[in-house]
Chains A and B, each alone.
Chain A
């Protein structure tokens, strides 16, 4: 792999300063890039998928808030460097919103979750096989070279939010819970800090699949803030995969249900394994909201969620599976005894 300089930042400012000057390109193509847990970064550097000449390690930044889980009465604030396993193990979060820790528990392996940070997790890059092996043409890795997956072996690829340029799946689990809860992301920048909705962080591939987020190279995620409604205690993350553990989702869903007897007062649905970015199934929520819950209604919601699906040769099953996953999760959260 490309020889690179490795540096450790002790303040956020220092980290950002090092990454200034390359602001015109997406962070994943910049010469200077951040490394947190490194579980995605080091892997993709070794594969040659990303080739920074300068790595800025943000793990030792002194600001304690980056490593803190703050539980407020309305909001949960998760520092960017909090490890996946810390949230997974958090009793209070689990009590208030089970789908958050559940989405982490079924991701990767415990060893990886001990290393990986929450910010790194939401920014993980696709596992598209054609993207990971650099000898294939790939619009995301090498803009304009073509998409090998489109007419290739595309069993794991997305059916929602895809474009003619790229059908790669966003594989993260945690992000589905975050998007369902309409979380907020705190970003530190060279000039000013900003807060954006988590739903605005990731970009669908469109004509420029190489641009994956709205972040600039000299911006750093510092925290994720989630306002957790009381009824999120009735929530669940369901992940369907080819084996029992240590596999990415073929389809997954983060579901929270607010019930008044049998009437759906409110509902939140995130869908994983099927879309190009973290995916909120708004049309499905609309079908359910205000109605009397039934299996039939759940099926209608699932149909709505996938109404715009664009399956390819090998991933057509994801439409049926995605629907079944959502119906199953809805049925199961309805049955939860609180």
Chain B
């Protein structure tokens, strides 16, 4: 295997940079995403969305729409009422708002009808001809709007039962020599995966099949069945490829069951693709957060007091909590900690998970504060973090299972050339361009969840790995093939992987960066069980080269069962087994999960064992360094260089790991400089509803992005030793950029995104 920047040479405890097994299919356009699946006799559905954010639908005028040639059906709340159970807010469901379940409007762009037609064009024309009479009420948009309601998160959320704290913050803060008291804000973000959201549903008799991009096929199957009031076993959810998810395809939204109902009414398959504009209001999103941080330190740089208060926007009915204080409260060796999270209820859709949901906003605030504190102390920001590096967490005093934060800082700083930075604000220039450099910590909990897998090994050395996990683009299929091949002693091309189908053994939601850890742990366990079966057969056979050996001493290698001085071809070992195929079904249940964890998985209920659970804190770490350039007159901000070093336990594949981390940092740049969903504050409606106005970086914005994988071995996290890297890369980047902007200009911008507007004058 050749290595390159895209395929880094594996260091200690890292797997080979195997190229993606589905890469060729994808670049040739042959990977069928759910809305690409050919379906016979398809009817096309189009959502109709409300033009107000709060009130009631008084009347929908449908006559003109029905008159459009090709229109088959128009579903409104009159048709749904009583037919569907309302959606639920929880781990599988995004919201309790049943958009078509009655006439109430909870938020802008809520689904108020579904038009079904022979063609998408007819559906579109019909949708445009629907007019609505509303009874409008004044909505509350966000923080500071009239009519919001603020509640303590710990009082209303099942997921967030207490605010972490330790020691006596007030006394320590009052007594300290150096203090800061600052506020930060992160705006609303939408995931905007390039693959549009879609549902394709059809009934064969009583059996429902749903093709939809999802990160949670089992959870959805159960939830779809519940809403349609049928048995879960009659529902099949298929999602072999997902074109970007980032959390947006994790919890199910109410559209899916509505489309399935439409297909049942019509007796015909229905496909509904959500338009880009509608995805801003009918899908989930990261709501805006505000942060108040008070920090105090001794002159030597030791932090003595840390307080982090967060305010998060949510919908009226659902207490969705981000709650990143559980991570910020543990990150450094603070003398005392006080945290509090508040929810602010508004007339908006229920927010939900988005790549590093808790860490992205909360660490953004903390790492900004760390930089401000370093400046207040006149200390190098890297040294400030070193002084406050922790060996145990500040809240419960538990040790970290492993913590390579400062190794990450040192490797990244050296690659970046941090020592050449002149700390003086505004001191570095290149012609008309002001140069700034900054850094920040990345952190994400190492989560793991129960997972079942079936591995089939044939006597000719072909293997198949089946588990209902999800290829959202991270490369999990590749890593699964690679790992099974390694443990079964096969070439990766001999291993076929099947995922994304409820006919396969259940895997957890692809979220919380837990997939590689969970799926790989299950695969390792299954392969070991296969090896043991084969070994037992070979050593207990009456004849053959391995007869009489210790079964623990024989391994699978190059298509053979191998002992120190003898080996036997798989084909012959299978003769001892007495079958041509071994079909191994294995359940992996992580430490800390309940005994019913796997059977719960079959019921669509998942138990994520989070990084804070158990007697150790399990976190993945990283350090990110950025250089920004800002034109002295026109103030546009460019990012020529980013270097990130990350440690994540075992790295399964250096190529896919790098790709995740690189993509993460690019998204970090995006959140720092580009992304924000803008609202019309009078009406609580989204203004920028497409990729023209919801800005993300283009290629020209992204220049040198370097990823360093720092070796780390952690035997505590899970069987596979994997911490998960999917969400680590975009944590911290925005803070590093804010620090660099300050270094270049002396301006501390505490509200994202940082734009020309903030830096002029």
Contacts and interface: CB of A to CB of B under 8 A. Distances in A.
Interface string A122-162: 00000101101111000000000000100111011000000
Given A133-B277, A244-B698, A246-B698, A1 B687 contact: no
Nearest to B689: A133
Nearest to B70: A3
A243 B695 contact: yes
B155 interface: no
A320 B635 CA distance: 11
Interface residues of A, number: 35
Interface string A173-200: 0000000000000000000000000000
Contact of A324 (B277, B635, B757): B635
A174 B635 CA distance: 23
A27 B277 CA distance: 27
Given A1-B124, A48-B128, A130-B687, A244 B638 contact: yes
Contacts of B693: 127, 129, 156
Contacts of B638: 244
Contacts of A95: none
B700 A317 contact: no
B700 A245 contact: yes
Contact of A129 (B634, B681, B689, B700): B689
B756 A328 contact: no
Interface in A226-280: 240-247, 250-251
Interface string B192-207: 0000000000000000
B121 A1 contact: yes
B633 interface: yes
Contacts of B51: 135
Interface string A1-23: 11100000000000000000000
B697 interface: yes
B680 A153 contact: yes
B634 A243 contact: no
A51 to B, nearest CB: 9
Given A127-B693, A324-B760, 9 more contacts: A1-B128, A152-B687, A153-B680, A244-B697, A245-B700, A317-B756, A321-B635, A321-B756, A324-B635
Interface in A82-132: 127, 129-130, 132
A204 interface: no
- Which 8 A-B pairs have CB atoms at the shortest separation, nearest pair first? A244-B700, A135-B51, A245-B700, A317-B757, A153-B687, A324-B633, A328-B633, A320-B760
A36 interface: no
B41 interface: no
Interface residues of B, number: 37
Contacts of B591: none
B636 interface: yes
Given A129-B693, A321-B635, A153 B678 contact: yes
B359 to A, nearest CB: 25
B674 A320 contact: no
Interface of A is mostly: loop
Contacts of A153: 678-681, 687-688
A151 B680 CA distance: 9
B680 A148 contact: yes
Contacts of A325: 633-634
B380 interface: no
Contact of A240 (B678, B695, B756): B756
Interface string B682-699: 100001111011010111
A327 interface: yes
Nearest to A2: B125
Contacts of A3: 121, 125
Contacts of B673: 242-243
Interface in B537-573: none
Contact of A242 (B679, B681, B687, B755): B755
B111 to A, nearest CB: 14
Contacts of A240: 634, 636, 756
Interface string B628-640: 0001011110100
Given A1-B124, A152-B682, A243 B687 contact: no
B635 A243 contact: no
A130 B701 CA distance: 28
A326 to B, nearest CB: 10
A296 to B, nearest CB: 14
B634 A324 contact: yes
Contact of B756 (A2, A151, A245, A250): A250
16 contacts: A127-B692, A129-B687, A133-B277, A151-B682, A152-B680, A152-B681, A152-B682, A153-B680, A153-B687, A240-B756, A242-B755, A243-B673, A243-B674, A320-B761, A324-B635, A324-B760
B133 to A, nearest CB: 14
Nearest to A250: B756
A243 B756 contact: no
B589 to A, nearest CB: 47
A27 B572 CA distance: 81
A190 B695 CA distance: 43
